[in-house]
Structure 1
Amino acid sequence: MHQLSQLQKTFYKFYVCTAVRKFFFFLDPLRTGRIAIPDILCSGYLDKLLELREEDADLDDLEQNWFSCQSASKIYTRYLQLDKDHNGLLSRDELAKYNSSTLTPVFITRVFQECLTYSGEMDYKSYLDFVLALENRNSPQGLRYLFQIMDVDNKGYLHPGDLNFFYRGMIQMLSTRPLTEVPPFNNVQNEIFDMVKPVDSMRITLKDLINWLVL
């Protein structure tokens, strides 16, 4: 493909990992390690990959195309920037710097409790899942990833206690920032449940969230 012809050999395996991970994140959400060929053909992701054959591709389009050299390099470069001790893995403190440190310590801790780690640190594949989930929060696959993070006790549903757990983490972070007004938890809880409209008025399941998403 023309747009990949300038790919440096040292970056090749990381590019392949980046490209393949998107297919598995969206088409193998249950992590079976397999993807059906018809699913690949119907997904539209193969079309985005094949766009890289075009010699006169628009630069802005390439920046937005996950499979482009520009996009993959940007993602991997950010990973390297977060890896302050240069051991090839990310610690909790290192990942906490993601997106200008806008994620709460509580959320980061839950990410590490749920994702595959090596001696308590995150590798590039898990980082890609993390990025894909946050960048695609309004997709069923992104919701599944985030639901697992928020389902603190792995119950299969979220209750007010789960929401309050993350709310308190947010309050703690915002307490260091001046002039930040935060609504009371009951208001937040009521708004979330009113918005999602779960089948059970005191529980939110992943199915409830996906149904809300497609409305």
Structure 2
Amino acid sequence: MDWKEVLRRRLATPNTGLNRRKSEQELKDEEMDLFTKYYSEWKGAGKNTNEFYKIIPRFYYRLPAEDEVLLQKLREESRAVFLQRKSRELLDNEELQNLWFLLDKHQTPPMIGEEAMINYESFLKVGEKAGPKCKQFFTAKVFAKLLHTDSYGRISIMHFFNYVMRKVWLHQTRIGLSLYDVAGQGYLRESDLENYILELIPTLPQLDGLEKSFYSFYVCTAVRKFFFFLDPLRTGQYLNLDKDHNGMLSKEELSRYGTATMTNVFLDRVFQECLTYDGEMDYKTYLDFVLALENRKEPAALQYIFKLLDIENKGYLNVFSLNYFFRAIQELMKIHGQDPVSFQDVKDEIFDMVKPKDPLKISLQDLINSNQGDTVTTILIDLNGFWTYENREALVANDSENSADLDDT
């Protein structure tokens, strides 16, 4: 009888001598006393606490230092062997082809259209014949996930096979990426991802015509896009904006981005908050800027722009900060011969769109939750964007008229 059973029996035995029910605290104290006693006996009489620690398996291994060359080499080789083993656990092309033949052989009638189907009973039979590598895919959970509207309770063979293929490709990609994890810490640094994409370029048919002199631009663009969206393009435009060809962008050069209608006030904030070198922006910083402006519906992009609009660094936008940016829009309207719009009207529209929790403050989360963050930021930083918003009804009507004219012809 082990200590758990002894403990259970002792606690279940009523204390007849006291002729009363024990308090909850007394039961807890007795439980702890019995646990300590029987656990010590179970582990062996005479062992002290320090000796117990010796039987705990080692669970932490420090990373080898730079000068410990042998340990570093051992770590690298161990990781390589581990990744090779993981790779061998994946289905290869021949095994995938065999899986397809088995699925096709066990399809369940009746045939509806051209879609081959399989029921759960046949699904399990295929799983038994497909081999140990396929076992993880032939579960009730996977079948239920792929089960939709079939009146016979079947799933599509093609949908299931595509599911398996995607899983295999995902694991293959993960193993491939792990090979570039130089530090072996389970993540990729920017330089690691750059090496991965650089070596991947020759295998991508879409990039067959890309000149090698542009490889570095492509790699940088791709890497920045990954890091922008996962840690919260138009490369030709960067070269066109760089009028003095020094590889950097000044505020004046960046002002010609897009429709060249961003306000100077907003551009000032960009150069105040973003990383620059002697007052000029490098390509990586430019990519962050472009990604934010071209994906204004995304939380990561809104976070980037919100930081620029939060001039007082308070964590929210108030009437003062909104007015600060919109005054620049009003100035541009005057320059272009347009009648300025009242800030009071615009401010009320913004608060009506966002509906913040605090009626006087707009937080980043308020912007994200409203699904109007892209519209609000556009109104405040870009004259062309504000004009499009202000004339949205007329533009929609004009599009409808043009569509009607096309229908008539």
1:17 aligns with 2:176: no
- Pairing partner for 1:199 from 357, 368, 382: 357
- Pairing partner for 1:208 from 366, 370, 378: 366
Residue number in structure 1 paired with 2:208: 5
Q: Secondary structure at the match of 2:371?
A: helix
The TM-score normalised by the length of structure 1 is: 0.76
The amino acid across from 2:371 in the alignment is: L
CA–CA separation in structure 2 for the residues paired with 1:143 and 1:100: 20
Q: Deviations over 1:147-195 (max 9, x none)?
A: 01100121111011110011111111111112x2332111111110111
**1:162-173 correspondence to structure 2 within 5 Å:** 162-173=321-332
1:92 aligns with 2:251: yes
Partners of 2:318 and 2:360 within 8 A in 1? yes
Partners of 2:354 and 2:372 within 8 A in 1? no
The amino acid across from 1:20 in the alignment is: V
Displacement of 1:109? 0.6
CA–CA separation in structure 1 for the residues paired with 2:280 and 2:333: 26
Residue number in structure 1 paired with 2:296: 137
Residue number in structure 1 paired with 2:309: 150
Instruction: Give the RMSD, CA atoms, in angstroms.
Output: 1.5
1:186 aligns with 2:389: no
- Pairing partner for 2:333 from 167, 174, 184: 174
Q: Secondary structure at the match of 1:14?
A: helix
Residue number in structure 1 paired with 2:104: none
CA–CA separation in structure 2 for the residues paired with 1:82 and 1:106: 19
CA–CA separation in structure 2 for the residues paired with 1:170 and 1:187: 14
Q: Secondary structure at the match of 2:220?
A: helix
Partners of 2:315 and 2:363 within 8 A in 1? yes
Partners of 2:242 and 2:253 within 8 A in 1? yes
Tell me how many residue pairs correspond in the alignment. Answer: 170
CA–CA separation in structure 2 for the residues paired with 1:125 and 1:174: 32
1:106 aligns with 2:309: no
Displacement of 1:5? 2.3
- Higher relative contact order (CA closer than 8 Å, sequence separation 6+): 1
Displacement of 1:214? 8.5
Where has structure 1 moved over 3 Å in runs of 4 or more? none
Q: Deviations over 1:181-214 (max 9, x none)?
A: 3321111111101110111111100011111128
Q: Secondary structure at the match of 1:175?
A: helix
CA–CA separation in structure 2 for the residues paired with 1:6 and 1:82: 24
Residue number in structure 1 paired with 2:239: 80
CA–CA separation in structure 2 for the residues paired with 1:7 and 1:86: 21
- Pairing partner for 1:121 from 280, 289, 295: 280
Q: Deviations over 1:75-98 (max 9, x none)?
A: 121111111111110000010011
Identity %: 57
CA–CA separation in structure 2 for the residues paired with 1:83 and 1:10: 18
CA–CA separation in structure 2 for the residues paired with 1:18 and 1:200: 39
Displacement of 1:128? 0.7
CA–CA separation in structure 1 for the residues paired with 2:372 and 2:290: 22
The TM-score normalised by the length of structure 2 is: 0.40
